[in-house]
A and B are shown apart, each in its own frame.
Chain A
Amino acid sequence: MSELASLSLERHRSIVLAGVSGEIDLSNAEDLRNRIARWVINDDVALILDFTDVSYTDSAGINLLFDLSARLREHGQGLCVILPADSQPRRTFAIVGVGEQIPIFETAADAEKWAGGAPATRPLREGDVAHEG
């Protein structure tokens, strides 16, 4: 069982979507975190973690979330998670209060809407273009 979880990474207009499927535990959480963190660059405004297909996570998965969240916050970047209502990860996150610090959405559309609004928390930089109309 070499790979417990698989990871897909894509970027749309400065929003990174990291889709994880499988199980997250002590054996792979750190590796997943590193692979996701390496993908995010300075220009990104937000990271969406799609955990729709995560069937199990232990506290190592929760540490992964808080760790990524803290790193991104330092750079003014946002983080949210997509999780279906009824799943082991959702219940686990609820118990330790993940939702109080990291927004959790049930659909990709809601997450993207949130992430699209996230730039408000980002300081304006050179090269930013104001939209007209």
Chain B
Amino acid sequence: MIGVPLLVRGEVLGVLHVGTLAPRTFTDADAELLQLVAERVALGLHVRLYEQERRMTETLQRTFLPESLPEVPGLRLTSKYLPATDPGIGGDWYDVFVLPSGVLALAMGDVSGHGLRAAAVMGRIRNALRACALEDENPSEAVNRLDRLMELLDVTEIVTLLFGIVDTELSEFRFVSAGHVPPLVIKPDGQSSFADDDWSNPPLGIGHYHPFREHIVPLEAGTSFLLYTDGLVERRDESLSEGLERLRGVSAPMRLSPNPAEAIESAIRSLLDGREPADDIALLLVDLEAQSSGIDLRIAADPEALVTVRRASRRWLSDLGVPRRVSDDVITAVGEAGANAVEHAYGPMGGWLHVLASCEGDTIRVTVSDGGRWRKRHSARGRGSTLMRSVMDSVEIETSDAGTTVTMRLRLPGR
């Protein structure tokens, strides 16, 4: 019997044995020939084992990434995930979810290592972070809690994380970076800068007993910001700051691009410059729409649509620079008109709701239309109608077979 090792890059996968039925002596030439065969077999085995793990890792990882990104009026979210081909999929992840108060939570993280273990650890941390954020919406508090959990979660890997929230008025992005690459902010004038480059917080789970420091990025209409993992900027032959500088250089076209997915891909292509990605790349682009000139919102007439209508109204009125008190009044009126349509326009099959708003000169004009017929006894329904008429200068209700349209006007004081 003769045996030769099945070797791939110095690692023994097994031994290839050959026996004979008739007695004979194996020569060195036989061994050499068998070694040649073993090399082929080892390579094939390796590819199969590797492929199998890769498929499992990919499947596992996909279940931890959001299937779709939430819809937030005034915001556009685009994500991209590019797994590394070699040395295998890593533990990068991103997460986007809306917290009970309506604030938008964004996470971008990186678990050191590759393969199944990294993906599994990433899943644990992702779920724990969601739980922590639900307990306390302050990013620093959520990350402090998560940090304390690391040992309990049996995480020994180095984990970097960027976690932050965008408030419902879309006025700021408040975040904590635990040793993660800094967010890149692209201003409406095309100038880009990194939001936090003092690296004041260490990665998670290294026995850090001081609270994680928070940073605040003030947002304005037309601003974009980018969360990413270091695979996007790291090259073996240069420093991280050089990589960051290169990212800054190619970032401007991503802001409010008509085709954000393509703009991201083109930025990645120019950063990789023909190389294979050495690590996973995860990327999340947040665009704040340019100043809204009005509202044109058509949605399903469900009770849940009302909050979307209010958010869109609040943002528009804030862009207009309307004082809080007046803005509250307009939102009250729009809310009542919307609630009337949701409650009374349609039967059980439901329908749509169309909100149009604009400001002409010193006068705000809002129309709320539906395609149903308000049931008569509700048409001038007491409180909702009283509220609309009290806070707006004029309220007209037109009903036809095609539906009902409420038109409301308000002259803005001091304009």
Interface residues, chain A, with chain B CB atoms under 8 Å away: 1-4, 6, 22-23, 25-27, 56, 58-60, 62-63, 86, 88, 91-92, 95-96
Contact pattern, B 296-315, Cβ under 8 Å of A = 1, otherwise 0: 00000011101100100000
The complex places the Cα of A104 from the Cα of B303 at a distance, in Å, of 28
Of the candidates B310, B339, B383, the one whose C-beta lies within 8 Å of that of A23 is B310
Question: Could you tell me the distance between the alpha carbons of A1 and B343 in the complex, rounded to whole angstroms?
Answer: 20
B130 to A: closest C-beta gap in Å:
13
CA distance A56 to B331 in the complex (A): 9
Whether B34 is near chain A, meaning CB under 8 Å from some CB there, is no
Q: What CA separation (Å) do A3 and B101 show in the bound complex?
A: 7
Among all A-B residue pairs, the 8 with the closest Cβ atoms: A27-B303, A59-B383, A3-B100, A88-B328, A26-B303, A58-B335, A95-B390, A59-B384
Docked-complex contact B387 and A96, CB < 8 angstroms = yes
Residue of A nearest to B303 (CB): A27
> Which of chain B's residues have a CB closer than 8 A to the CB of A86?
325
Number of B residues with CB within 8 Å of any CB on chain A: 26
B331 touches A88 (CB 8 A): yes
Known A3-B100, A26-B342, A95-B387; contact A56-B304, beta-carbon cutoff 8 A? no
Is there contact, CB below 8 Å, between B383 and A25?
Answer: no
Is B328 a contact of A91 with CB atoms below 8 Å?
A: yes
Can you name 17 extra interface pairs (CB under 8 A) apart from A27-B307, A59-B384? Answer: A1-B98, A1-B102, A6-B100, A25-B335, A25-B339, A26-B339, A27-B302, A56-B328, A58-B306, A58-B332, A58-B387, A59-B383, A60-B339, A63-B383, A86-B325, A88-B332, A91-B332
B306 contacts across to A, CB distance below 8 A: 25-27, 58
B332→A92 contact, CB < 8 A: yes
C-alpha spacing A25/B343, complex, angstroms: 12
CB pair B101 A58 closer than 8 Å: no
> Shortest CB–CB separation between residue A89 and chain B, in angstroms?
10
Chain B hits for A23, CB < 8 A: 102, 307, 310
- Rounded to whole Å, the gap between the CB of A51 and the closest CB of chain B is 15
Closest to A63 in B: B383
Tally A-B pairs: CB < 8 A. 68
B101 close to A22 (CB less than 8 A): yes
Q: List 23 A-B pairs, Cβ < 8 Å.
A: A1-B102, A2-B100, A3-B100, A4-B100, A6-B100, A22-B100, A23-B307, A25-B335, A26-B306, A26-B342, A27-B304, A56-B310, A58-B332, A59-B336, A59-B387, A60-B339, A62-B383, A91-B329, A91-B332, A92-B387, A95-B391, A96-B386, A96-B387
> Chain A residues with Cβ under 8 A from B100's Cβ?
1-4, 6, 22
Q: Which residues of B contact A91 (CB under 8 A)?
A: 325, 328-329, 332
A88 to B327, CA, bound (A): 10
Of the candidates A6, A56, A59, the one having the most CB atoms from chain B within 10 angstroms of its own CB is A59
Closest residue on chain A to residue B386 by CB atoms: A96
Within 8 A of A (CB), among B375-395: 383-384, 386-387, 390-391
Q: Please, which residue of chain A has its CB at the minimum distance from the CB of B332?
A: A92
When distances are taken between beta carbons in the complex, the residues of chain A under 8 Å from B310 are: 23, 25, 56
A33 CB, min distance to chain B CBs, angstroms: 14
CB-defined contacts of B342 to chain A, threshold 8 Å: 26
Q: Give the complex CA separation of A56 and B311 in angstroms.
A: 11
Residues of B close to A95: CB separation below 8 A: 386-387, 390-391
CB nearest to A1 among chain B residues: B98
Q: What is the distance, in angstroms, from B410's C-beta to the closest C-beta of chain A?
A: 15
Per-residue contact bits, chain B 72-107, to A (CB 8 Å; 1 contact, 0 not):
000000000000000000000000001011100000
Residues of A within 8 A of B335 (CB): 25, 56, 58
Q: Name A2's closest neighbour in chain B (CB-CB).
A: B100
| Chain A residue at smallest Cβ distance from B328 | A88
Report B-chain residues with C-beta under 8 Å of the C-beta of A92.
332, 387
B303: which A residues are within 8 A, CB to CB? 25-27
Chain A residue at smallest Cβ distance from B309: A25
Q: Could you say which of A3, A88, A96 contacts B383, with CB atoms under 8 Å apart?
A: A96
**In the complex, what distance in Å separates the CA atom of A60 from the CA atom of B391?**
17
Please determine whether B386 and A58 come into contact, CB atoms closer than 8 angstroms.
Answer: no
Give the nearest-CB partner of B343 in chain A.
A26
Min CB gap A107→B, angstroms? 22
- Cβ contact within 8 Å between B332 and A1: no
Distance between Cα atoms of A26 and B328 in the complex (Å)? 17
State the CA gap A57–B121 with chains docked (Å). Answer: 43
Q: Which residues of B contact A6 (CB under 8 A)?
A: 100
Which chain B residues border A4 with CB–CB below 8 Å?
100, 102, 307
User: Closest CB of chain B to A57's CB: distance in Å?
Assistant: 9
Q: How far is the CA of A59 from the CA of B342 in the complex (A)?
A: 13
